[in-house]
Amino acid sequence: MSVLGTRVVRIEDPRLLTTGATYVDDLRIPQLAGAAFVTYVRSPLAHARITGIDVSAAAEAPGVVAVFTANDLDDVPPPPADNPLAEPLLAKDVVRYVGEPVAMVITETRAQGEDAVELVAVDYEPLDAVVDVEEAAKDEVLLFPEAGTNIVAPNGPEEFDDAPFAECEVVIERTFRNQRVAPVPMEVRSAAAAWDGERVTVWSSNQNAQTTRMIIAGGLGVEPDKVRVITPDVGGGFGAKIGVDRDTVLVAWAARRLGRAVRWTETRSESLIAMQHGRAQVHKVKLGGNRDGKILAYRMDFMQDAGAYPRVGPLLANFTTLMVPAVYEIPTVQIRSKVVLTNTTPVGAYRGAGRPEATATIERLVDIFADEIGMDPAEVRRRNLIPADKFPYTTATGLVYDSGEYVKALDRVLEAAGYEELRAEQERRRAAGDTKLLGIGLSSYVEVTALDFPNGETGRVVIHRDGSATVYTGSHTQGQGHATSWAMIVQDQLGIPMDKVTVIHGDTDAIPVGTGTYASRSLQVGGIAVHECAVKIKEQARELAARELEADPADLVLDTDSGAWHVQGVPGTKLDWARLAELAGEDGLTADVHFKPSRPTFPFGAHLAVVEVDTETGLVRLVRHISLDDAGPLINPILAEGQRHGGIAQGVAQALYEEMAYDAEGNPVTASLADYSMISAAELPSFELLTMETPTDVNPLGVKGIGEAGTIGATPAVQNAVVDALSHLGVRHIEMPATPERVWKAINEARGSEKRAAQ
């Protein structure tokens, strides 16, 4: 019996949940003995010219080993001359956001660094700052005057064609903001570095050791083989730890300059203002259709706030563009985007990276359209969802959706939720004048996973002479449960028990080539690489067993329950993996695979959120959340449920609580967890998870990614539920997060409009 699809408890959890885990800041190893500590001097202004830096007082402070500024970086490659928007290791002439590193102080203890940075005197000449992305696009304040514009990646037509909308009976236009959020991983950024001659070892908390090695090598101006990166246990990333920031490159540089090991761990406040943020888009949208519920035309004209440096802003805009058509069969889809620089923290990947933004907008629009034509939003969705018999389906953006049952997913969620009963309860409360109104919100979604599919992933499996196996993977866990999943795949193929399978990742000496964990790609790329390794080893073993048993290889069978080979029909004479590894001799039983899928996959699903909205206070409480997230066959339902739980929580957080906000001068106003309303379990009900498994033909296990599904589906469902609760009062839209203040204002504005209309 295959172990795949069974509820195997995560084998890594006992270690992670006790004192057995080792994060970068926990490292107490000989290479880091006596390491000095880095503390960064960060800009307090969003936009200013640096006119002078005096480090003399700091240099004399207790425990200070050195103080470095940009002028000291005389042995690193200069920024590319053809890239005026290049991000320096330390700001030299101009700072462009609050939190940008200006200098680094090296001290004997961490506490001494906290004191010494206060003594670094930086003279700033303030410059006008631009925070709002729409204002930045006017180019009245330029972050890089030499570039002549803040717009770095315009894409799409100069003019739109309005003809398709002219034929629609109903046309709605809106502007939505998908607010900026902070990743807030449990483990903040942390790094350590130690040189051994001409080679450096860097320990870093991130999602991809191999990419990190390339970035550090490039930043230091050394060959990649002079850099070893080790990523021990990582406490969350959510996209913000793909590769490394300059802060980590500087740790490696400082260790080289000082000839001494150096380490750094940021504070929580540093993490909030200096670690990359997510989302931050403004969508101007137009949707047209007929009163029979059919949507005929959809246009999205949007801006991606990239923050102070472009980084992956263009990539995020591209991801949103790809997913604009969503789950619907819409004849006309028009898209235009701009990536715009602002005096804020740079924006990067954050759970879903561009896909949740596209889904949030069209799901909000579908509800508004349904309200406009007086039709139930579930029925509008049902009439426009891509039918199951249309797959594989090519979207207006050129993507080929592999497989899907969108209508079935929606109907199953509606049935499980008791949709009609919920609507009846909603009406009962409204009729009774209840101050706690019920809101019911829907979303249907499709996402793309492993969009970087040409990169592929590395896998290696080695069988040892004690019958155990070691798996080397270029994928990297930050809590996803790779050790359990990869061991299950090996047990399924080879019959080696999971407790005899060791999974190695996150060390570039052990795995020189790898792509890492992001974009929900791990199982469908890295897991398949391991699967293919096991398949190859099985064929090697078949040949060995055939020679040993003097039989035709075709007659050999592997009993995966016992992990032993025998001739078909002769189970009494067996060869186990220990014996086969011995027979393999010096060559050993091993296989290496770099698996490249032919294309990405497209998980999908439907969510329904039920909220109570207190009309006297504006407080929103999520009371139920029902989701169906179809990512194909599940290797381990427990792991999939964990991913869905985390994703839904983050989606609810964006809808109701979290926002990284700035004032007009570019000062962050949510720079601590006292201000940034990070969600906790106390704000959440138990989620009701439905399952459906629609396989893909892209890989041999039929699996798709599920790491970001909950985030994509939950956010619009909750936002729609809040507006739905108040729609009979005249509320048509509430921006995220739907805080009590924002909800209360919407209620009172609607009531004010009613009174003015009555007068």
Same domain, 754 and 691: yes
Whole-number mean pLDDT of the chain? 96
How confident is residue 486, by pLDDT bands cut at 50, 70 and 90? very high
Q: Is residue 502 part of a domain?
A: yes
Q: Which two tokens stand for residue 146?
A: 């030499």
Q: Please tell me the predicted confidence (pLDDT) of residue 753.
A: 74
Q: Please tell me the predicted confidence (pLDDT) of residue 81.
A: 82
Beta bridge partners, 601, equal 449
Same domain, 534 and 645: no
Q: Is residue 155 part of a domain?
A: no
Same domain, 527 and 411: no
For 636, list phi and psi in degrees, rounded to 5.
-145, 105
Cβ contacts of 567 within 8 Å, gap of 6 or more: 549, 551, 555, 556, 557, 573
In degrees to the nearest 10, what's the CA dihedral of 486, 492, 493, 495? Answer: 110
* 295-to-328, 370, 386 alpha-carbon distances in Å: 9, 10, 12
> Which residues constitute the domain of residue 524?
451-595
For residue 571, pLDDT beyond 90: no
Q: Is residue 556 part of a domain?
A: yes
Same domain, 455 and 388: no
CA angle 177, 182, 188 (to 5 degrees): 170
For 321, list phi and psi in degrees, rounded to 5.
-55, -45
Same domain, 388 and 505: no
Q: Diameter of the chain by CA atoms?
A: 98
Same domain, 543 and 633: no
Burial (CB < 10 A; 0-12, 13-18, 19+), residue 691, is middle
In degrees to the nearest 10, what's the CA dihedral of 597, 600, 606, 607? Answer: 90
Let me know: does 713 contact 381? Beta carbons within 8 Å.
no
Question: Mind giving me the DSSP string for 59-88?
Answer: HTSTTEEEEEEGGG-TTSPPPPTT-TTPPP
Helix (H, G, I), strand (E, B) or coil at 592: strand
The whole-number average pLDDT for the span 651-662 is: 98
Same domain, 384 and 462: no
The whole-number average pLDDT for the span 553-581 is: 94
Nearest C-alpha neighbor of 37 from the set 115, 113, 116: 113
The residue ranges of DSSP E strands in 255-307, in sequence order, are 262-265, 278-289, 295-307
* Cis peptide bond N-terminal to 78, omega within 30: no
Q: Which two tokens stand for residue 77?
A: 């490659």
Residue where a domain stops, chosen among 540, 564, 595: 595
For residue 19, pLDDT beyond 90: no
Q: Is residue 112 part of a domain?
A: no
Q: Which DSSP helix (H) or strand (E) runs through 645?
A: helix 637-656
Q: How far is residue 759's CA from residue 757's CA, in Å, rounded to a whole number?
A: 5
Residue with tokens 């080979």: 565
Looking at the chain, the whole-number percentage of residues with pLDDT higher than 90 is 95
How confident is residue 586, by pLDDT bands cut at 50, 70 and 90? confident
Q: At what angle do helices 246-258 and 209-220 cross, to 10 degrees?
A: 60
Q: Please tell me the predicted confidence (pLDDT) of residue 80.
A: 84
How confident is residue 588, by pLDDT bands cut at 50, 70 and 90? confident
Residues 83-103: pLDDT tens digits?
889 999 999 999 999 999 999
Q: How far is residue 288's CA from residue 308's CA, in Å, rounded to a whole number?
A: 36
Domain count, the chain: 2
Q: Please tell me the predicted confidence (pLDDT) of residue 757.
A: 67
How confident is residue 142, by pLDDT bands cut at 50, 70 and 90? very high
Same domain, 417 and 558: no
CA angle 608, 610, 614 (to 5 degrees): 155
For residue 756, pLDDT beyond 80: no
Q: Please tell me the predicted confidence (pLDDT) of residue 587.
A: 77
Task: Find the distance separating the first CA and the last CA of the chain, reported in whole Å.
Answer: 74
Residues 601-652: pLDDT tens digits?
999 999 999 999 999 999 999 999 999 999 999 999 999 999 999 999 999 9
Q: Is residue 221 part of a domain?
A: no
- We report the CATH number of the domain holding residue 575 as 3.30.365.10
For residue 687, pLDDT beyond 70: yes
Q: Is residue 474 part of a domain?
A: yes
CA angle 315, 317, 321 (to 5 degrees): 115
For 439, list phi and psi in degrees, rounded to 5.
-120, 140
Q: Is residue 470 part of a domain?
A: yes
Q: What is the DSSP letter of 346?
A: P
The whole-number average pLDDT for the span 60-67 is: 98
Let me know: does 95 contact 47? Beta carbons within 8 Å.
yes
For 127, list phi and psi in degrees, rounded to 5.
-115, 160
Same domain, 537 and 629: no
For residue 759, pLDDT beyond 90: no
How confident is residue 429, by pLDDT bands cut at 50, 70 and 90? very high
For residue 755, pLDDT beyond 80: no
Residue where a domain stops, chosen among 577, 595, 613: 595
Mapped to the 3 state alphabet, what secondary structure does 205-269 carry? CCCCHHHHHHHHHHHHCCCHHHEEEECCCCCCCCCCCCCCCHHHHHHHHHHHHHCCCEEEECCHH
Residue where a domain stops, chosen among 595, 611, 628: 595
Helix (H, G, I), strand (E, B) or coil at 521: coil
> How many beta carbons lie within 10 A of that of residue 18, not counting itself?
8
For residue 484, pLDDT beyond 90: yes
For residue 513, pLDDT beyond 90: yes
Q: Please tell me the predicted confidence (pLDDT) of residue 474.
A: 96
Residues 289-338: pLDDT tens digits?
999 999 999 999 999 999 999 999 999 999 999 999 999 999 999 999 99
Looking at the chain, the whole-number percentage of residues with pLDDT higher than 70 is 99
Q: How far is residue 398's CA from residue 599's CA, in Å, rounded to a whole number?
A: 12
Same domain, 546 and 562: yes
